[in-house]
Homo-oligomer: A and B are copies of this chain.
């Protein structure tokens, strides 16, 4: 009943949610490991609060929840974090077409530059996962 054991429980629930979403892809853990060198607490908050609380909730199915995540990241223009979450979004079963459709839709709300930047990142993720060919780049 010490707070740390409680943290632990939340932490374990967060880790389980992360495992489910990343499906073994190390991109998120790698990003977190780097943050860990600077502050273990940021990584812990991400696991406990973001994954242990928010992603563990059941009021929104995982695909819908990830559409919210992607839309926020596109709005912010945070392309590095978007790259990681595009992979996670695919793991929830969102199709590449739905993801692209969501990106297109954001153009009306946050403008074309953010949507174009997101498409650029999606292209790299889709090439990386063999969803589209690498073209002549």
A59-80 interface code vs B (CB 8 A; 1 in, 0 out): 1100111011111111111101
Closest partner residue, chain B, to A123 (CB atom): B38
Q: Known contacts A5-B1, A97-B59, A98-B59; is A137 also within 8 Å of B34 by CB?
A: yes
Taking residues whose C-beta sits less than 8 angstroms from the other chain, chain A's interface range is: 35 or more
Q: CB-CB < 8 A to A65: which residues of B?
A: 101-102, 105
A57, CB-defined interface residue at 8 Å: yes
Q: Is the CB of B108 within 8 A of A42?
A: no
* A-B pairs with beta carbons under 8 Å apart, 25 shown: A1-B5, A1-B9, A3-B6, A6-B10, A34-B137, A35-B120, A38-B126, A41-B104, A45-B53, A54-B105, A57-B104, A60-B101, A63-B64, A64-B98, A67-B67, A68-B105, A69-B109, A71-B71, A71-B72, A73-B113, A76-B109, A76-B111, A108-B111, A110-B110, A110-B111
